[in-house]
Structure 1
Amino acid sequence: MKQLILAEKPSVARDLSQILGATEKHKDYFEGDGVIVTWALGHLLGLKMPEDLNKDWQKWQLETLPMLPKFIGTKPLPKTRHQLQAIERLAKRSDVKEAVIATDAGREGELVARWILQYVRFNKPVKRLWISSQTTKAVKEGFARLKPASDYDDLYQSALARATADWLVGLNVTRALTVKYQDNLSAGRVQTPTLALVLKQEDKISSFIPQKYYQIALNASNQKALMEQKNPYGIKNREAAQKIVSELERTIGKVEKITVKEHSEKAPLPYDLTELQRAANEKYGYSAKKTLSVVQSLYEVHKIVSYPRTDSKYLSTDMISTMKERLQAVGSMVPEALEYAKKGAKVVQKKVFNNEKVTDHHALVPTEQRPDYAKLSSDEHRIYGMIVKRFVMLFAPEYREQKEKITVSFANRRFNFSKTTVLQKGWKENAQTSGEALHFKEGQQIKGTFEVKEKLTTPPNPLTEGGLLALMERYSLGTPATRAEIIEKLVSSELMERSGNFLRVTRKGRQLLELVNPSLVTPELTEKWEKQLEAIALGKFSSQKFIAEIKDDTKKLVSEVKNSTKKYQDFSMTQKKCPECGAFLKEKKVRDGKLLVCSNAECDYKRRAEARVSNHRCPQCHKKMLIVSGEKGEYFRCKYDGTTEKLGGKKGKKKMSRHEERRLLKKINQDDEPQESALAAALKKAMEEK
């Protein structure tokens, strides 16, 4: 009899099959003694769409909203139906005695597997593999302690409730907005308050008015100290500042107090996914999606980090015995790790071990497997380095410093000189002593000079992706596994856009936030929902009660849109008309530029809004030609001399040989080149004169 093991991806299934000895390879599965390893392709099923449940919901119209089905159910996704059928055949084999869920150990992974097993009507025992790394050791240990799948029923109920809530709120509000305002307006229980956080920061910047303020500095013994103020921006004009200086200049200062304190600081805890994404965005400018993709590869392909989609920064106590192996694995990247291993791998930051604060998974740390650096991309090397260095800090001595503060008083005004001396760098490799040596004694009289410094308040910075992730975490918007996807959805739906490393809300996004109910814009309602989902996963809240509340909220949100008298302007609409039906064309962003698409829902006309540069060379000037859209389709056009050519002909498809390339370059650079620039001519003349 055999176990049917269901992995989430083919790559994971392949790795599991090698570890479990399933060496017999088939198109849709691997087989060995006692095991059959197959895979999903992410989700193979999704919730049914409105048109699958009720014929009246096929057409988008306000009259049929809100759509509140008693039961939604699932249906196969068309592109992956073949794999679902393969799993169904395997599940019905007479020699299969039980199934093992080996999908990602998290809420979404649980949903992937449960839906599949329900669809194929699997009625045999089901067990759960729950591991935090993909190493051979972790997999073998995980299979040695499989648990009944029923132990994770609450997690499944939480996942199902989340998917149902997104269906109810997202589809109903999006349909209501789209039909009411005749434009594709996407809203959701998490993405809409996330968008509002970006706009809130933009509003702070736009409403900011710079103001002058003044500081007073004391110069004594070649050192400077600023005057203490309850409100650092309190002195608003130079006259007031100068009046204070005049008073100070008539007095003699006195060293009122000298304090010397030592301060120690232990290393930070390891990364969870959200903090890693924030740090990678700040350090390398990576998007949340890119960081997740890279760390997922380090986990699945290279097996050198633990499960990435974690929201915990703590480790379980049973991991203490693995610390030495993990240090030895990363020694070639961080040499001091080997020293810590030799000394017994003693963790200095002991609070990292806390079973109560380890949720579904522990913190993101390196595994015991030694990396093959030659196989890592530069991005993988960077992210792995960040995870490793943060982990090794746990074993480093604490950072210690001495802070010296000297308070000098002039009448009722105080000035503070300070110096920070690093006593032990510990885990802070780059820590340095700051401030000059202070030579004062208590009671000493001080004479000095004063100066007035004019300052200007500065506006807050726009939100970076890292900053947005921090706010999403603070307000419990989404989970570590979904936050990157939410940000990408806002960008792809043209509600938000990237401007360098910053995020900004588009005009379309601003209007959307004005059109929906304020309760969906502010994060409080979504934060309440997310906390309830967490409580469902812990068995502390009813999923039925949660869905009942979601339905009530959906009714209110849809009613608000229906009864709204607010106006909407589609800024993507152009004055160009469709050549097929006469409707106005809308501008739509795509990956490689912009398209003009017909605003008539029943017309599928589209063309490029702007020409794009091709690698095809002009036969006259040999420069790259543009691909231009016209009435008869796309064609090549040279923007320098107007030459045109058909697109897709032999010339366009033929690859240039090295000989032709050299000949072309020689022709471009020949002496009688008519298009030669003035700069090129001057350089050539200078070379000839040498």
Structure 2
Amino acid sequence: MKQLVIAEKPSVASDLARVLHAKEKKKHYYEGKSTIVTWGYGHLLTLKMPEDYKKEWKTWSMDTLPMLPKQFLIQPLPKTKGQLQAIRQLCQRKDIKEVVIATDAGREGELVARWILQYVRYKGPVKRLWISSQTDKAIKEGFAHLKPAKMYDDLFYSAQARSEADWLIGLNVSRALTIQYGDQLSAGRVQTPTLALVRKREKEIESFRPKEQFTVELSYQGHPLTSRKPLVFSKKETAEKVKAQLQKETAVVKEKKVKVKKQWAPLLYDLTELQQVANQRYGFSAKKTLNLVQSLYEHHKIVSYPRTDSKYLPTDLESSMKERLQAVAKEFSLSGTILQKGKVQQRKVFNDQKVSDHYGLIPTEVAPNISRLSQDEWKIYQLITKRFLNLFYPPYEAEEQTFVILLGDQNFQLKQEKVLEQGWKEKEEGVSSLHLSLNQELPIQIKVVSSMTKPKSRLTEGQLLAQMEKHHLGTPATRAEIIEKLVNIQYLERQGREFIVTPKGKQLLTLVNESLVRPELTEEWELHLQKIEKGKEKKEQFIQKMKKEATRLVTEIKQSEKEYKDFALTTKKCPECSGRLREKKTKQGVFYVCSNPECHYKRRKDLKVSNHRCPQCHKKMVIVEGEKGAYFKCQSCSLTEKIPDKKAKKQKMTKQEERRLMKKYSEKAPAENPFASALENFQVQD
């Protein structure tokens, strides 16, 4: 009898098959003596579309809204039917004793596998592989301690609830908005309040009015003096008057306070903080960081599971710390003392109560092969590993000296630090230390500095992730996808490292239901999903609530009297139906598309530049759409050329033809004159 193992991706299945000795490769699976390993391509199934429930739901009409299926059904994705059928046949084999779910150990991974088993109607025993790294050691230990799949039923119900809630809110509200305002508008349970967070910051910037302010700054030998109430004034005259008064006074050291402060290393990265730091330091998008750390986990096997929301480690992992240190010792030049001890100094990191499904990001016991990592992968690996290594160092300790300086009748403070133990912190270049005694008189430098008040900056991707985490919008695994979707549907645009809301995005926020814009409502829904995952709430109760919400939201849109202006609509006319053309941005460039839903006219806004060179001026030619089809045109000399048919293009030379030509041209040609002939027969005599 055999185990059937279901992995999430072919690459993971390949690794599992190697470790489990399933060496016989088939089209849809690997097979060994006791194990068969098959795979998905992420999701193989999805929730059915409205028209699959009722024929009348195919028509986009207010009369059919809200759409509330009595029971949600799943269907195969078009390109995955072959793999799904293969898994069905494997599940029906008489030699299969049990199925092992080996998809990603998280909410969506659970949904991938459970939907497959539900669709193929598998009724046999099911176990769960739950591991936080993809090393051979972790896989072997995981299979030695498989858990009953029933332990993760609540995780599956939470994933189901998330998927069905997004269907109910997203499809109903998006349809209602599109029908009401005559343009393709999209709203969602998480994406809309996320967009609103960016717009909220923009409104703060737009309403900001800069003001000139004047600050009286005091310093002694480059060390600033501070006071509880900053000396900031709206009028220059006032600031100059205060400066003149202070200059008449003598500064005297009246008190010295000494305090030793201890600062332990920060805890490990969870995915959200890693994405924030990578965005701030390297300008990486959340999606790019997730892809990089996923590659380090899945392909290189040198970091733990990436989609984690924890910064802590379970206590039973402490025994593996020395082995992980040895794996990174060479690349990070670790000292012998740390390697020998291998003991974590920052004890707070071990906390079983604060480890959810997965622990914080740490390197595995596999030594990195730097030559196989891309530059960006190496940057992310360094961030994760350095944060991990800091745990093994003692705390940073410094003696903080605070001098109280009396100037007239006002007290000012001068602070400086004397490092006692560098600990985990890197050395910093600091201002030279001062040696002051009580009642010492100090020559203070005083100046008035003029400045303009500045608004807050636009939200960067890292700051948006922090806001999403604060309001419980999405999960570490889904936040990057939500941001990318808002960019792809042209509600958000990246401007350098910052986000701006497009005119269409601004309009959507004025048209969509006010309650859906506020993050508090979605935050409440996300907390319900977490309760379902922990078994504290029933999925059915949450879905009933979502159905009521969908009904309320659709009714509000139907009754709305707001107006919509399509900023993408141009004054250009469609040559086929005379309808107005709308600008549409795609990955291939900007296109004009007809606004008439019955018409399918489409053309580029700007001519597409090809790699084909003009035979006359050798500049790249553009592709022009004419009545008889597309053709090349040179914009410099107006020369035109027909685009050759693909079949007419020259075929690639075969190796046989290449050898024949080489033989032909390597044969000696007859000499062209007697002198050349004589040279051929000439031999040097010793």
- So what's the TM-score if we normalise by structure 2? 0.92
Residues 327 and 338 in structure 1, CA contact (< 8 A), matched pair in contact too: no
Correspondence 1:622 to 2:621: no
What's the RMSD between the two structures over aligned residues?
1.9
Alignment of 1:190-339 (within 5 A): 190-220=190-220, 222-223=221-222, 225-226=224-225, 228-230=227-229, 232=230, 234-336=232-334, 339=337
Per-residue deviation at 1:305? 0.9
Residues 216 and 231 in structure 2, CA contact (< 8 A), matched pair in contact too: no
Per-residue deviation at 1:331? 1.5
Alignment of 1:24-103 (within 5 A): 24-103=24-103
Which position in structure 2 is the counterpart of 1:413? 410
Q: Secondary structure at the match of 1:336?
A: coil
Q: Distance in 2 between matches of 1:79 and 1:370?
A: 38
Structure 2 residue runs of 5 or longer lacking an equivalent are: 654-686
User: Which residue, out of 340, 360, 363, partners 2:360?
Assistant: 363
Amino acid at match of 2:321: M
Q: Distance in 2 between matches of 1:76 and 1:32?
A: 28
Q: Secondary structure at the match of 2:233?
A: coil
Residues 325 and 342 in structure 2, CA contact (< 8 A), matched pair in contact too: yes
Q: Distance in 1 between matches of 2:629 and 2:486?
A: 32
Which position in structure 1 is the counterpart of 2:500? 504
Q: Distance in 1 between matches of 2:554 and 2:222?
A: 65
Amino acid at match of 1:392: L
Give the paired residue count.
653
Residues 132 and 361 in structure 1, CA contact (< 8 A), matched pair in contact too: yes
CA gap of 1:652–1:254, structure 2 versus 1, over 3 A, is farther
Q: Distance in 1 between matches of 2:17 and 2:336?
A: 33
Alignment of 1:313-462 (within 5 A): 313-336=311-334, 339-342=337-340, 344-432=341-429, 434-446=430-442, 448=444, 450-462=446-458
Amino acid at match of 1:553: E
| Between 389-398 and 133-142, the greater mean CA deviation after superposition | 389-398
Residue deviations 1:505-530, cap 9 Å, x none? 10000000111111111110111111
Q: Distance in 2 between matches of 1:412 and 1:548?
A: 68
CA gap of 1:631–1:496, structure 2 versus 1, over 3 A, is farther
Per-residue deviation at 1:655? 10
Per-residue deviation at 1:302? 1.1
**% identical equivalent positions:** 56
Q: Distance in 1 between matches of 2:198 and 2:93?
A: 53
Residues 304 and 371 in structure 1, CA contact (< 8 A), matched pair in contact too: yes
CA gap of 1:446–1:427, structure 2 versus 1, over 3 A, is closer
Correspondence 1:487 to 2:483: yes
CA gap of 1:594–1:654, structure 2 versus 1, over 3 A, is farther
CA gap of 1:219–1:266, structure 2 versus 1, over 3 A, is closer
Q: Distance in 2 between matches of 1:656 and 1:243?
A: 85
Amino acid at match of 2:516: L
Residues 328 and 337 in structure 1, CA contact (< 8 A), matched pair in contact too: no
| Between 118-127 and 636-645, the greater mean CA deviation after superposition | 636-645
Q: Distance in 2 between matches of 1:447 and 1:9?
A: 70
Q: Distance in 1 between matches of 2:2 and 2:194?
A: 47
Q: Distance in 2 between matches of 1:560 and 1:644?
A: 56
Q: Distance in 2 between matches of 1:377 and 1:454?
A: 47
Residues 215 and 232 in structure 2, CA contact (< 8 A), matched pair in contact too: no
Which position in structure 1 is the counterpart of 2:109? 109
Q: Secondary structure at the match of 1:162?
A: helix
Amino acid at match of 1:78: P
Per-residue deviation at 1:627? 2.4
Residues 217 and 224 in structure 1, CA contact (< 8 A), matched pair in contact too: no
CA gap of 1:129–1:594, structure 2 versus 1, over 3 A, is same
Q: Distance in 2 between matches of 1:174 and 1:201?
A: 25
Correspondence 1:559 to 2:558: no
Per-residue deviation at 1:159? 0.4
Correspondence 1:604 to 2:574: no
Residues 621 and 632 in structure 2, CA contact (< 8 A), matched pair in contact too: yes
Q: Distance in 2 between matches of 1:484 and 1:219?
A: 46
CA gap of 1:234–1:655, structure 2 versus 1, over 3 A, is farther
Residues 168 and 546 in structure 2, CA contact (< 8 A), matched pair in contact too: yes
Residues 516 and 560 in structure 1, CA contact (< 8 A), matched pair in contact too: no
Per-residue deviation at 1:356? 0.8
Q: Distance in 2 between matches of 1:423 and 1:655?
A: 74
Structure 1 residue runs of 5 or longer lacking an equivalent are: 658-690
Residues 226 and 414 in structure 2, CA contact (< 8 A), matched pair in contact too: no
Q: Distance in 2 between matches of 1:520 and 1:129?
A: 38
Per-residue deviation at 1:446? 4.2
Q: Secondary structure at the match of 1:382?
A: helix
Residues 216 and 232 in structure 2, CA contact (< 8 A), matched pair in contact too: no
Q: Distance in 1 between matches of 2:646 and 2:552?
A: 61
- So what's the TM-score if we normalise by structure 1? 0.91
| Between 407-416 and 533-542, the greater mean CA deviation after superposition | 407-416
Which position in structure 2 is the counterpart of 1:162? 162
Q: Secondary structure at the match of 2:506?
A: helix
Q: Distance in 2 between matches of 1:389 and 1:233?
A: 41
Which position in structure 2 is the counterpart of 1:679? none
Which position in structure 1 is the counterpart of 2:535? 539
CA gap of 1:641–1:410, structure 2 versus 1, over 3 A, is same
Q: Secondary structure at the match of 1:454?
A: strand
CA gap of 1:25–1:545, structure 2 versus 1, over 3 A, is same
Per-residue deviation at 1:250? 3.5
Residues 215 and 226 in structure 1, CA contact (< 8 A), matched pair in contact too: no
Per-residue deviation at 1:375? 1.6
CA gap of 1:179–1:264, structure 2 versus 1, over 3 A, is same
Q: Distance in 1 between matches of 2:146 and 2:459?
A: 44
Q: Distance in 2 between matches of 1:352 and 1:133?
A: 19
CA gap of 1:550–1:141, structure 2 versus 1, over 3 A, is same
Q: Distance in 2 between matches of 1:334 and 1:218?
A: 43
